[in-house]
């Protein structure tokens, strides 16, 4: 597909570092000259349907997003009214491409900008593709307000002055057709691999949970008297409050420390060990703390999704990390990391910890300390950890291969969109050979592609300083 696409024949300089040269026949225009902000408010409660915006799904009815993100306000009179074909973007999340085109009449929070094309023949879908370009995102950081790069507020008075490329209307239509077609093809491949990963993760969690709660001896007596939510524990396993097993520490930062991140897959390691790009960083590292190998780590804002593990690195980390060390002999932090992650993915943290955001509880040490946990003998803990490690080798290898394939497909899609909307690739002839309308396939795909956006965050977006 991509191999058939070629550059345009003639280019001109745009003068924009993020954009580079653009096709000779394209126009370079102020954003405010092509889009205007509609400021229709719901002050009379004339609209009752509340909408929301998700990065992968665009504008959807609030009821369809489920128990995700912030709760709607009880008083929606301050909300902005949205009409069909409005472009809606979050002024705090535009840098990560959180926007969409509305198919609905409804209302949403004042934090959103509601934009409309000034010219009837301009296509909103083309302009949303420009907004989704990572190169454009990075260029907006310089005009943002805030200390966190991924949560900067972009003022409309500055946003409307940004220069954007604008092809002729008929070419906008061809670009939109091509991008819809390409998104469906790449999206289906991504969805298939995510389904495989989901099945492998279920198999993996079943193996872990059985081992950490039942042990390896099938002949031992069991009961569920002390911790029924864990099922039937071996009767010779005593139970303790977590605060008796672990105490919180706040280590000093070592000199020239690198950033350590606690990922949702349970790895706690230097960011550079995973990758060197794609992370967001706090501008001011207020309250940052040291972190050392062997320490049990719970990400207070993301533990519910599995961000719990044992550090393998020396470095620095966010104050949102709860760092713990054993309070008594006979404790394997690796065993308890497996146990806690197993409980987290089964909703245990969501059930027991307070939360402002739905399905996103904040786990403080006091919350963790109240948990009732089993304490197998030290030798059993180590045997369980060894058993799980060996049992999961093949499964984790398959998961890793599929995740890498997804990363490559997403990189391909992102790069393709960026190159097309900035005029680096000419898709006109290819698009003319495609069906006129693949919008239904696009909508169906978007509804199934929200797997990584359910919590409105990821391992990097949740990484913040206070």
CA 45/CA 53 separation, integer angstroms = 21
Residues 106 and 154 in one domain: yes
**CB–CB of 296/322 below 8 Å?**
no
Residues 131 and 280 in one domain: no
Q: Of 353, 379, 405, at which residue does a domain stop?
A: 379
Averaged pLDDT, 47-72: 80
What is the extent of the structural domain holding 270? 199-379
Residues 258 and 162 in one domain: no
pLDDT of residue 422: 96
Residues 253 and 333 in one domain: yes
CB atoms within 10 A of CB 25: 13
Residues 153 and 35 in one domain: yes
Averaged pLDDT, 121-140: 92
Q: Of 331, 350, 379, at which residue does a domain stop?
A: 379
153, 159, 163, 168 alpha-carbon torsion, rounded to 10° = 110
Residues 161 and 205 in one domain: no
**Residues 6 or more apart from 21 whose CB is under 8 A from it?**
11, 12, 13, 14, 423
The pair phi, psi for residue 444, each rounded to 5°, is: -65, -40
pLDDT-derived band of residue 462, with 50, 70 and 90 as boundaries?
A: very low
Start-to-end CA span in the chain (Å): 46
- Structural domain count of the chain: 2
Residues 369 and 245 in one domain: yes
Instruction: Kindly report, residue by residue over 263-297, the tens digit of the pLDDT.
Output: 999 999 999 898 755 555 665 678 899 999 999 99
Closest CA to 100 of 152, 53, 133: 53
**Residues 6 or more apart from 106 whose CB is under 8 A from it?**
47, 49, 50, 51, 61, 81, 82
**Residues 6 or more apart from 415 whose CB is under 8 A from it?**
none
Q: Of 115, 143, 166, at which residue does a domain stop?
A: 166
Closest CA to 322 of 289, 293, 294, 355: 289
Greater confidence, 55 or 40? Answer: 40
Instruction: Kindly report, residue by residue over 60-95, the tens digit of the pLDDT.
Output: 998 887 655 567 788 899 999 999 999 999 888 787
pLDDT of residue 460: 37
In a domain? residue 398? no
Residues 260 and 151 in one domain: no
Residue 261, domain CATH: 3.90.220.20
pLDDT-derived band of residue 173, with 50, 70 and 90 as boundaries?
A: very high
**CB–CB of 95/66 below 8 Å?**
no
Residues 296 and 162 in one domain: no
pLDDT of residue 451: 40
CB atoms within 10 A of CB 44: 7
| pTM, rounded to two decimals | 0.72
In a domain? residue 408? no
In a domain? residue 19? no
Residues 63 and 129 in one domain: yes
Instruction: Kindly report, residue by residue over 304-334, the tens digit of the pLDDT.
Output: 989 999 999 999 999 999 999 999 999 999 9
CA 195/CA 191 separation, integer angstroms = 6
Q: Containing H/E element for 162?
A: none
In a domain? residue 271? yes
CA distances from 206 to 209, 210, 219, 338 (A): 5, 6, 19, 12
DSSP 353: S
pLDDT of residue 151: 67
């Amino acid at each position: 597909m991509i191999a058939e696409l070629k550059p345009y024949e003639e280019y001109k300089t745009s003068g924009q570092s993020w954009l580079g040269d653009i096709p000779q026949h394209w126009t370079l225009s102020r954003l405010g000259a092509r889009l205007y902000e509609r400021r229709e408010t719901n002050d009379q409660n004339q609209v009752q349907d509340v909408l929301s915006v998700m990065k992968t799904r665009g504008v959807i009815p609030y009821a369809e997003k489920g128990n995700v993100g912030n709760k709607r306000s009880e008083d929606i009179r301050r909300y902005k009214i949205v009409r069909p074909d409005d472009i809606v973007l979050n002024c705090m999340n535009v840098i990560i491409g959180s926007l969409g085109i509305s198919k609905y009449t409804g209302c949403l929070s004042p934090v959103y900008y509601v934009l409309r094309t000034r010219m009837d023949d301009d296509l909103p879908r083309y302009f949303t593709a420009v907004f989704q370009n990572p190169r454009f995102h990075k260029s907006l950081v310089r005009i943002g307000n805030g200390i966190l790069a991924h949560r900067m507020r972009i003022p409309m008075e500055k946003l409307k002055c940004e220069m954007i490329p604008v092809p002729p209307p008929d070419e906008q239509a061809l670009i939109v057709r091509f991008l819809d077609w390409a998104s469906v093809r790449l999206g289906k491949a991504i969805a298939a691999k995510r389904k495989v990963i989901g099945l492998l993760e279920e198999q993996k969690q079943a193996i872990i949970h059985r081992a950490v709660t039942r042990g390896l001896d099938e002949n031992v007596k069991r009961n569920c008297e002390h911790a029924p939510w864990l099922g039937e524990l071996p009767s010779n396993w005593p139970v303790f409050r977590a605060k008796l097993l672990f105490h919180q520490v706040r280590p000093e930062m070592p000199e020239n420390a690198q950033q350590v991140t606690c990922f949702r897959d349970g790895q706690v390691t230097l960011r550079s060990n995973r990758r060197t790009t794609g992370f967001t960083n706090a501008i001011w590292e207020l309250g940052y703390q040291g972190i050392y190998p062997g320490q049990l780590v719970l990400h207070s804002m993301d533990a519910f999704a599995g961000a719990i593990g044992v550090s393998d690195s020396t470095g620095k980390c966010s104050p949102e990390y709860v760092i713990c060390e054993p309070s008594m002999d006979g404790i394997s932090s690796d065993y308890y990391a497996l146990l806690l992650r197993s409980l987290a993915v089964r909703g245990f943290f969501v059930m027991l910890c307070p939360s402002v955001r739905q399905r996103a509880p904040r786990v403080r040490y006091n919350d963790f300390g109240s948990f009732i946990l089993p304490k197998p003998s030290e030798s059993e803990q180590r045997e369980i950890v060894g058993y799980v490690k060996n049992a999961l080798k093949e499964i984790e290898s398959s998961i890793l291969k599929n995740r890498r394939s997804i990363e490559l497909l997403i990189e391909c899609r992102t790069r393709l969109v960026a190159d097309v909307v900035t005029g680096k690739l000419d898709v006109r002839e290819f698009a003319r050979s495609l069906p006129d309308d693949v919008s239904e396939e696009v909508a169906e795909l978007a509804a199934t592609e929200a797997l990584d956006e359910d919590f409105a965050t990821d391992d990097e977006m949740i990484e913040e300083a206070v």
